[in-house]
Chain A
Amino acid sequence: MTTATVPPPYRSDLKLGNDGFVQLLHAEWTKFRTVRGWVVAAAVAVAVMALISISAATGGKGANCVNGKCQRGPSDPIGPYGVSVTDSFYFVHQTLDGDGSITARISSLTDAIQPDPQGQGGAPPAGASVPWAKAGIIVKQSTTLGSQYAAVMATVGNGVRMQYNYEHDVAGNLGAASSASPAWLRLVRSGTTLTGYDSADGTHWTEIGTADLTGLASTVQVGLFATSPGYNDNQYVFGGLNSDSFNSLATAQFDNLALGGGWSGDAWNGDAIGGADGQYQQTGSGFTVQGGNGDITPDVPDDDTARLALSGAFAGLIALIVIAAMFMTTEYRRGLLRTTLAASPRRGRVLAAKAVVVGAVSFAVGLVAAAVSVPVFNRLWSPDAFYPVGALTEARVVLGTAALLAVVAVFTLALATLMRRSTAVITTVIILVIMPYFLATTSVLTPGPSDWLLRLTPAAGFAIQQTIPRFAQLTNVYTPTDGFYPLAPWSGFAVLCAYTAVALGAALLVLRRRDA
């Protein structure tokens, strides 16, 4: 009799499978890359984005280009930071050698808006004024256009300011200058450092700020100046901006002029710098200086390579939104989600893995499109055609645009988890992200509502593409149509990220609570 032996229970000799996050990522990546339509759609996204970006440059978009030839004209002086500036004012000056100071009192500053010489635009509207019409004292390297300077000035609508080297603007302590409340201004030069002061009475002085003008020559031109930008009568109508421009002339009364240090003692010279209008009169110890049709500010051009070379991002975005939505909704429609959750029961991890895969794919789409369009763009246009933004800004725009695509894709994925129906998801995301961008940048809406749309909706993220700095002291049309977003680049991007975080949180909650 033989004893019955119980066979040992079956044990697979395969090793126990890992169910870490890496395996989950691998699984989700496999799901993505094996659906041919999605891979094709991602390639389409790259192609559309690059093509639209490149075609944005066709047809002479270069700000400094005439008939395809691009160069900065002689009328565009280059400032101390290597970008073009506006340098145009009436200058009553003397030579100062070495250290010294200049003090003056402004007892009145007015601006007069001139009727349109051609008579086409009619008269300027009643009550119009130019807040940045200005007059004051200035220390300038030379009368060469674009040279370094520091100035303390009274303005018509912005009080006393200290401005230097075109880009810097510091608020002073006094309001508008008038005979009842005159403004005393002082500028002290010590080496290359200039310090500005203002005072209401000529005895108690308050420092406004200091400017370090690196490389300032020993001999400089110092004196009084006046200038005024033009007045633009802007009206927003459906589909665009109607703008009538009027010249403006600032008139300032100076007295109590006091000079200290190594002054030449020559007579005063009056010069219209950079094509400005103006004149001056000396009456006893006082001066009347008039200047207009100019300004001393940075020159903000229309466009720059970094923004244009990625302006097709919204087009690639639509394809990515469709992919990201289907990446989740097909799981529901085909019942694949049950298999997915059986294999990996931790639902938060599944959502995270999907978000990483779809985000990484979108980021890659953005980078590849930029890798195509930026070099092509730089080959099509000479460096002089556009505003130079610098390598750091360019890197921010390229990486930021890729990140914009990635975050919108993750946002779509989260909404798809919540809503489960692809048409509803895609329409919602397009209405939240593409529509506001469309309404705001194609002049459908007036600037007020446009700005609010780009502050409050996820489309605020497009601000990451802003490259041209905006300057408070420069009168310009700062609308989304012209590439100016109401929020700073990273704050706009943060708005989009906040929406995405909320959507992801809600998606996680719902995915955990709901039966698959």
Chain B
Amino acid sequence: MSEALHAEWTKLRTLPGTVWILLGILALTVGLGAVVTATVRYGGPGTSTDLTRLSLTGIELSQAMVAVFAVQAVGGEYSSGMIRVTLTAMPRRWTVLGAKAIVTGGLTLAVGAAGVAGALLAGRILLLANGFTAAHGFSALTPADGPTLRAAIGSALYLALVALLSLGIAAALREPAVAIGAVLGLLYLFPLVVGMVQNQSWHRHLEQIGPMTAGLEIQATVNTGGLPISPWAGLGVLALWAVGSLGCGGLALVLRDA
């Protein structure tokens, strides 16, 4: 397994696009969060805003880059024919998929953690400047706050799980264009469709099973009692999606000619 990991790490490390895409994930996570926190203003007494969640808005955008990163890790091998070399060198296909999942997921987790830290730091500075001060009853964002720490760790894990979800889908579908369409469709269409469903109980159930709607509840720090699903359970739903998709992708990889 360690040889497989080393091989996958070498492949990923030596691709010229990898650095750029990882920088892109970092920039989008911090950048969109900074834009959002720079434009929000304290609106007088009674303002109840989830500042942590606001600072971490960038995740909603950077997950698209994560999806590209993970889809390319598998789909790129199919479009170039490299997959045949890979499977000749490492005939145990579950091992190949596992090594890819560990390397891609681990790298995403590391970059995601850096992005989350940057976004929270930017949010802390910008929100204070915009009137969300202690005088108005807001405390500055800090990792010492339990829910904020949970949201930060959870957001990095969220990105890693999105990478695993994308990896599985790409292994199952092989064609990178179709895979990226499917992943982004699954992530972004779900909340849009849920938003249109007016029936309250259906709305709630759909929010509980959507990979993005459930997974991102990990970012909630205020009014957590009113969430459709509790933060960690929501991340668990996304983990189920990731495991399911990796399972399907692995089965397809094992049963099918490369």
Contacts and interface: CB of A to CB of B under 8 A. Distances in A.
B122 interface: no
Given A59-B202, A427-B68, 14 more contacts: A55-B196, A59-B197, A122-B46, A236-B43, A238-B50, A319-B181, A322-B181, A326-B177, A423-B180, A426-B181, A427-B64, A438-B60, A445-B36, A446-B40
Give the one of B45, B47, B177 with max A CB within 10 A. B177
Give the one of B35, B57, B68, B196 with max A CB within 10 A. B196
Contacts of A61: 198
Interface stretch (B71-79, B145-153, B231-239, B250-258): B71-79
A439 B185 CA distance: 15
A59 B199 CA distance: 5
A326 B179 CA distance: 12
A329 interface: yes
Nearest to A122: B46
A448 to B, nearest CB: 6
A431 B68 CA distance: 12
Given A237-B48, A435-B61, A449-B39, A314 B192 contact: yes
Determine the main DSSP class of A at the interface with B. helix
B191 interface: yes
B198 A59 contact: yes
12 contacts: A52-B196, A56-B197, A58-B199, A236-B43, A238-B54, A242-B48, A311-B196, A322-B181, A329-B177, A422-B176, A442-B192, A446-B36
Given A321-B181, A448-B39, A430 B54 contact: no
B188 interface: yes
B91 interface: no
B39 A434 contact: no
A225 to B, nearest CB: 33
A446 B35 CA distance: 11
Nearest to B68: A427
A125 interface: yes
A441 interface: yes
Contacts, number: 109
A52 B180 contact: no
B189 A445 contact: no
A232 to B, nearest CB: 13
Interface of A: 37, 52, 55-56, 58-61, 122, 125, 235-238, 242, 311, 314-315, 318-319, 321-322, 325-326, 329, 333, 422-424, 426-427, 430-431, 434-435, 438-439, 441-442, 444-446, 448-449
B189 A423 contact: no
A435 B188 contact: yes
Contact of A442 (B44, B185, B191): B191
The 9 closest A-B pairs by CB, nearest first: A59-B199, A422-B177, A322-B181, A59-B198, A56-B196, A318-B185, A423-B176, A427-B68, A423-B180
Determine the main DSSP class of B at the interface with A. helix
Nearest to A438: B188
A427 B53 CA distance: 24
A424 B68 contact: yes
Interface string B73-108: 001000100000000000000000000000000000
B49 interface: yes
Interface residues of B, number: 43
A401 to B, nearest CB: 15
A315 B181 CA distance: 11
B195 A441 contact: yes
A423 B68 contact: yes
Interface of B: 35-36, 39-40, 43-50, 53-54, 57, 60-61, 64-65, 67-68, 71-72, 75, 79, 176-178, 180-181, 184-185, 188-189, 191-193, 195-199, 202
Contacts of B79: 333
B205 to A, nearest CB: 12
B189 A318 contact: yes
A60 B198 contact: yes
A204 B109 CA distance: 74
B12 to A, nearest CB: 15
Contacts of B39: 446, 448-449
A427 B192 contact: no
A439 B33 CA distance: 13
Give the one of B40, B72, B180 with max A CB within 10 A. B180
Nearest to A434: B188
A337 to B, nearest CB: 15
A157 B143 CA distance: 46
Given A238-B49, A427-B64, A318 B36 contact: no
Contacts of A56: 196-197
Given A427-B67, A427-B184, A238 B53 contact: yes
Nearest to A416: B177
B131 to A, nearest CB: 13
B184 A318 contact: yes
A466 B48 CA distance: 31
B204 to A, nearest CB: 12
A414 to B, nearest CB: 16
A321 B184 CA distance: 12
Contacts of A439: 60-61
A52 B71 CA distance: 27
Give the one of B35, B72, B193 with max A CB within 10 A. B193
Contacts of B61: 431, 435, 439
A319 B177 CA distance: 10
A449 B35 CA distance: 9
Nearest to B47: A235
A122 B47 CA distance: 13
Contacts of A434: 184, 188
Nearest to B203: A59
Contacts of A329: 177
Contacts of B50: 237-238
Given A52-B193, A329-B177, A58 B198 contact: yes
A427 B183 CA distance: 10
A431 B46 contact: no
Given A59-B199, A423-B176, A235 B46 contact: yes
A246 B217 CA distance: 33
A423 B36 contact: no
B195 A426 contact: no
A438 B196 contact: no
A113 to B, nearest CB: 14
Contacts of A125: 44-45
A235 B42 CA distance: 10
Contacts of A321: 181
A33 B61 CA distance: 34
A497 B61 CA distance: 24
B195 A444 contact: no
B132 to A, nearest CB: 13
B51 to A, nearest CB: 9
Contacts of A315: 185, 189, 192-193
Nearest to B35: A449
B140 to A, nearest CB: 18
Nearest to B49: A237
